[in-house]
Structure 1
Amino acid sequence: MKNLRSTFKNDNWVMPYLRKYKALLALVLFLGFMTFFSAGALMFNSGFLISEAARRPDSIIYIYVPVVLARAFGIARPSFRYAERLTSHNWVLKIVSDFRKKLYQTVEKRATTIQRSHQTGDILSILADDIEHIENLYLRTVFPIVIGWLLYLFIVIGIGVLNWQVAILMAILLGVIVILLPLLSVVTNGAREFKQHQVQHEFYTNLTDQVLGLSDWKISGRYDDFLKMQQAPIEEIATLRRQDHYYQWWRGLFVQFIIFLAVLVLTVWTGIQFGATKGQANWVAAFALALFPAVDPFLSISQAASEWPIYKRSIDRVNELDRSVEKQLPEQVELGSVFETLNVDDVDFHYQGADEMVLKKLTLEVKQGEKLALLGPSGTGKSTLLKLLVGDETPTSGEITINGIPVAKLQHERANLFGVLDQKPYLFDTTVMNNVRLGNPSATDDEVKQAIAAVGLQELIESLPDQYDTEVKEAGQRFSGGERQRLSLARLLLQDAPIIILDEPTVSLDPITEKQLLDQVFTLLKDKTIIWVTHHLAGVAHVDQVRFLEAGKFEMVGTPKELYMNNEHFRKLYDLDRGE
């Protein structure tokens, strides 16, 4: 119970929608109760009808009313069942639609932040499995448990009106099914089902990660090892499922035994209560048979309860994802003017849980149209500084502002402020036209073609059979590395953001292609503010200022010309990159 309260204490996913659609929920529960009430009433009426027909076979008049009721309850049961299924699935689909919309909006808000805190397979698991689990929470847990408890109360109270001692005995017997057995199922089978989901989730996450690197497995000659790694979790999941199947079988048998005892109690009681005359004896079979339709809802309670740990974990995960996004976004404002300056003011930064500072007392100003090169060996904080500039991370101390406004407050305008070209720009498995238009969804076909022509790919694209409708294949495999970079550059042209981040875009290109791409980038984006992160100095003549980052600090600062003339270390690096 404590875990139940803690799960829903700060819940933003389940409880709000229960309140939003409470009228429809009440209708679902009513229809579910009426389904089993009609089934029980049909069996009750049938028990009486059979006994009365056997006692008075000579005239139908004596059994006319039970015959009519049998028809009525026989029609009512499937009608209520159909209406309940239709209403419950309509209710769940409404909620799941809201869930998916909310989840996609949550991921979209801070996609890069989430990507750092979650593996790809983890994100896929949340998008697919966790939302499905929350959907099943209603269909397989909330509805069956509430309907089963309503039937339990109805049976106990109904018998209590006639005989309170028998009602207490029935409350104890049926309470084993609706209270004790569900609690036992949570402790035993629930833990097993949770373990199964955990193994399945880890398998999902690891498999996704390994599939993304499948080419490296094959190149290293370890493809068989890759296959063997998947076998262990598959076998563990199969073992847990077998154990779950056996447990459910024995639990079902136990429920049937308890129902048998309850029917036996009712038969003995009604035999004593109504055995005085032949007419009253007709009620014996009626009471005994009425209990049988309750087997299904009572059995569903235990299974529903045993699945609660899975649903709890999914609810916790989506709420944690929601909180991890919202807590990082302060109140958002609009820039309100054209971009003028980006300032880094006395910034320190260290990652959570680490004591060592990655960046130390950094101060930097980049004005509109200025070109800046950030240099330095791997591990010196260049990528971290970029994350701070765009708002993916928050400084430990100090501040980063655009036109005097903290970057953290401008995240809703992020796409209008920053364009990024990195080492591996992603091209989606769709057409060339759609991939480039991603930079500006409202761009016309002619504007997309102009951007492609500007990056020098018009001749290549128009030589293809499908031209601009050519499918680029997954991750842009249809094109070379340099061509993928140029298509991504065309996106930036359409995006028309004032600040362009170049995160080592030429690291995987040959020297000739690298020079061509850099010349093209700085020519096409000559009016933009460019912050270029690089390992080496090829093409550094394009920039206005150079910052050399070493051990979290700026060690060399100046124009390329000044540094070449006055800094021996810079001059050696520059000559080394030129092969001199």
Structure 2
Amino acid sequence: MNKIGLFQSLKTDAWVKPFLTKYKNVLALALFLGFLTFFCGGALMFNSGFLISRSASIPENILLVYIPIVLTRAFGIGRPVFRYLERLTSHSWVLRMTSNLRLKLYNVVEKDAIFFKQAHRTGDILGLLAEDINHIQNLYLRTIFPTVIAWILYVFLIIGLGYFSWWFAIVMLLLLGIVVVVLPLWSVVVNGARQEKQKQMKNHLYTTLTDNVLGVSDWVFSQRGTEYVAGHKALEADLRTIDEKIKQFDRRRDFLLQGTFGVIAVALLVWASSRFPGVYGGLANWIAAFVLCVFPLIDAFAPLPSAAQETNVYKDSIDRFNALPEEQAAILAANAVKPEGPVELTVKDVHFHYPEGKEVLHGLDLTIAGHQKLAILGRSGSGKSTFASLLRGDLIPTEGSILINGQPVADFGDGISEVIGVINQSPYLFHTTILNNLRIGNEAASEEDVWQVLDQVGLKDMVSSLPDGLATMVDEAGLRFSGGERHRLALARILLKDTPIILLDEPTVGLDPITEQGVLETFFQVLDHKTIIWITHHLQGISMMDRVIFIEDGQLTMSGSPAKLAAENAHFQQLLAIDQGRI
């Protein structure tokens, strides 16, 4: 039943199955090399047994066994060579497949990150990366490859024995059938459900552990740390119980497996004794040849029961991948290039709602002309940040459109970074040099260009005073710099990038009023020739804007110049009074 479920999952699979076709030649080569590995191993023992017996029976026979000696050397060399080549080929195939799988998973998560975070917890993502990718890898290395190779050997052996004796070929068909069919099915029926439960418990542990680690401060502050540890230990104890049951079954099954191989060896011994009677040691020769041939073939058939019982785990992993959204390749239209000259941004009747959520934006209409300075105000949760994501193309409107010079934002794909630059609340500085941090905006920028933008943002003297100048290492997250300095460094990046539109997403949150005013003045002075979209929650520096809009409950409720609104709009006047501390 579980195997049927796996085949059904693979039939409708859009994640794993495509790689079977993409790398089919390498896959076929790996299977063929695997067959040759076990063939050489069995042939080596068969030939060696015959050679040793024949040579030992009559001393003169040593002169008559030149061909078996050559074959022994050939099979002896061939077995490790083919084994190495098979491992090299199969692992190369699997690593190609899993690397593509990881890339596809990244593309899905990165492209749909906001929605993915709503539908999946961090522990789910870790489960996909740590468990499911490895399960898909093991599906090939521990199940598909060994099973296909074993079945090829199974058919080859039965046909080969049928050449000597059809009735004994039927006997071996039944005996090997216990190893190839019966024991794997028994493992699936008895242990498959336990392994599925084991995987579910591991996924649950990933999820709960991640959630609790991220919220560890809540456990500490509530003085419930002991309760958390006890709960986690209980989950681990349940998992260990399942693990032990699986191991107990594996030990019993392996005992039966080895017993079956013992019966096969005895059957071969009896059959060879009756099939090849003769004088001059002929009987001993064939007994040694056929019986010794069994032992290297054990390595081919022994993994089948354990491989079969894991198919249910693989089915679960495949289903989890196929439950993810379809991969969306980054689209960059041929004419969606960095615009030259003024850039006009048009918002036409935009509606947006998150999956299974209320509508965040409702019928938004707006035109932002080139070089305009626009401030967007609104309460927390009013839709400002969602609107910013829509402008960047990170989200797609449920209805309506957002255009840059008549071109839909979505058409720019990753190329949107050439059009819109972003400075957010907490600009991140990486643990590398100041020069490398700034060149993120433009890798081709010269040191002269970097010094020029540092001068524009007012940091040239500060960086010059550092012992290593531009080569100064930045502490992790840029903690050696003040909040205002980090924002100015982020502005320097944007200047090197030279995008026509700058999106300021509440960039001065957490700064003291004096620093905030200085940062804003620098921003608007240096970016005077750019289009600025400034999302803010209060009005310091608002007089430097050309236009102010207010979003409330997803709709545009106020629009005009700061001076006009201050003179005519009661709501704006109230906001000014609150911001200035007069109310």
Q: Same fold (TM over 0.5)?
A: yes
- Per the alignment, residue 252 of structure 1 pairs with 254
**1:332 maps to which residue?**
333
Give the aligned partner of residue 399 of structure 1. Answer: 401
8 Å CA contact retained: 2:376, 2:533 = yes
Answer with 14-23 or 522-531: which moved more. Answer: 14-23
Partner of 2:498: 496
Contact 2:6 2:311 in 1 (8 A): no
- The answer to whether residue 468 in structure 2 is matched with residue 463 in structure 1 is no
Alpha-carbon contact 2:377-2:551 (below 8 Å) kept: yes
Q: C-alpha displacement at 1:46, in angstroms?
A: 3.2
The 1-side partners of 2:223 and 2:474 are apart by: 28
- Asked if the contact 1:56/1:62 (under 8 Å) is kept, the reply is no
Is residue 2:430 matched to residue 1:428?
Answer: yes
Letter in 2 for 1:381: G
Relative to structure 1, the CA distance from residue 495 to residue 205 in structure 2 (aligned partners, 3 Å threshold; closer, same or farther) is farther
Q: Which amino acid aligns with 2:307?
A: A
1:536-547 matches, within 5 Å, as 536-547=538-549
Structure 2 matches for 1:348-387, cutoff 5 A?
348-354=351-357, 356-387=358-389
- Judge which range, 219-228 or 281-290, deviates more: 219-228
> Residue 442 and residue 357 in structure 1: after superposition, are their counterparts in 2 closer, same or farther (change >3 A)?
same
SS at match of 1:291: helix
Aligned equivalents of 1:389, 1:171: Cα separation in 2:
68
Per-residue CA deviation, residues 171-226 of structure 1 (Å, 9 max, x unaligned), is 22222322333344445544544554554455556655666677787788887777
Q: Is the 8 A contact 2:272 2:286 kept in 1?
A: yes
CA shift, 1:151, in A, is: 1.1
Of the structure 1 ranges 109-118 and 145-154, higher mean CA displacement relative to structure 2 is found in: 109-118
Between the aligned partners of 1:94 and 1:479, the Cα distance in structure 2 is 43
Distance 2:363 2:273 in 1: 90
How has the CA–CA distance of structure 1 residues 302 and 399 changed in structure 2, closer, same or farther, with 3 Å as cutoff? same
Contact 1:548 1:555 in 2 (8 A): yes
Which residue is equivalent to 2:180? 178
Farther off after superposition, 102-111 or 497-506: 102-111
Q: What is the distance in 2 between the residues matched to 1:236 and 1:482?
A: 52
CA distance in 2, matches of 1:384, 1:73: 68
1:289 to 287, 292, 309: 292
- Cα distance in structure 2, aligned partners of 1:332 and 1:10: 31
What's the counterpart of residue 138 of structure 1?
140
Taking the TM superposition and a 5 Å limit, the aligned residue runs for 1:152-551 are: 152-201=154-203, 203-204=205-206, 238-275=240-277, 279-280=282-283, 282-316=285-319, 323-326=326-329, 332-335=333-336, 337-338=339-340, 340-354=343-357, 356-551=358-553
Corresponding pairs, count: 577
Judged with a 3 Å threshold, the aligned counterparts in structure 2 of structure 1 residues 420 and 7 are, in CA distance, closer, same or farther, namely: farther
The 10-residue stretch of structure 1 (461-470 or 526-535) with the greater mean CA deviation from structure 2: 461-470
1:82 matched to 2:84: yes
SS in 1 for 2:302: helix
Candidates 65, 71, 74, aligned match of 2:73: 71
Residue type of the partner of 1:33? F
In 1: Cα distance, 2:400 partner to 2:569 partner: 29
Distance 1:425 1:241, change over 3 A: farther
Aligned partners of 1:317 and 1:438: how far apart in 2?
36
From the superposition, tell whether residues 578 and 454 of structure 1 become closer, same or farther in structure 2 (CA, over 3 Å).
Answer: same
Cα gap change, 1:78 to 1:113, in 2 (>3 Å): same
Partner of 1:413, secondary structure, is helix
- Deviation string 1:340-361 (CA, Å, 9 cap, x unpaired) is 321111122222223x322111
SS at match of 2:429: coil
Instruction: Rate the CA distance shift 1:520–1:325 in 2: closer, same or farther, 3 A.
Output: same
Pick which of 534-543 and 80-89 moved more: 80-89
Shift of 1:512: 2.0
- Corresponding position of 1:560: 562
Unaligned ranges ≥5, structure 2: none
Task: Give yes or no for contact 1:200–1:233 (8 Å, CA) kept in 2.
Answer: no
Q: CA deviation at 1:368?
A: 0.9
Secondary structure at the aligned position of 2:508 is classed as: coil
Q: Are 1:196 and 1:240, in contact at CA under 8 Å, matched by a contact in 2?
A: yes
Give the Å deviation of 1:466.
3.6
Q: Secondary structure at the match of 1:486?
A: helix
Name the % identity: 49
Q: C-alpha separation between the residues in 1 aligned to 2:243 and 2:465? A: 55
- Secondary structure (helix, strand or coil) at the match of 1:363 reads strand
Tell me the CA shift for residue 331 of structure 1: 7.6
Q: Any stretches of 5+ residues in structure 1 without a counterpart?
A: none
When structure 1 is superposed on structure 2, of 7-16 and 455-464 the one drifting more is 7-16
- State the 1:534 CA deviation: 1.6
Deviation at 1:40, TM superposition (A): 1.0
**Are residues 335 and 274 of structure 1, via their aligned partners in 2, closer, same or farther at CA, if it must alter by over 3 Å?**
closer
Which TM-score applies when normalising by structure 2?
0.87
TM-score (norm 1): 0.87
Supply the distance in 1 between the matched residues of 2:461 and 2:234 (Cα, whole angstroms).
51
- Map Cα deviations across residues 302-343 of structure 1 (whole Å, 9 max, x no partner): 3333444444455555566571434xx678352364353211
Q: What are the superposed Cα offsets for residues 51-96 of structure 1, whole Å, 9 maximum, x if unpaired?
A: 4445435753355554443333223222222232333344444545
Q: Distance in 2 between the 1:426 and 1:210 partners? A: 26
- Quote how far apart the aligned CAs of 1:449 are: 3.0
Q: Distance in 1 between matches of 2:184 and 2:256?
A: 12
8 Å CA contact retained: 1:333, 1:410: no
| Separation in structure 1 between the aligned mates of residue 216 and residue 473 of structure 2, nearest angstrom | 22
CA displacement 1:116-136 (0-9 Å, x = unmatched): 665556556655655454444
* Distance in 1 (alpha carbons) for counterparts of 2:202 and 2:466: 43
Give the letter for the 1:468 counterpart.
Answer: L
Aligned partner of 2:335: which letter?
E
In the aligned structure 1, how far is the partner of 2:224 from the partner of 2:482? 26
User: Does the 8 A contact of 1:13 with 1:319 survive in 2?
Assistant: yes
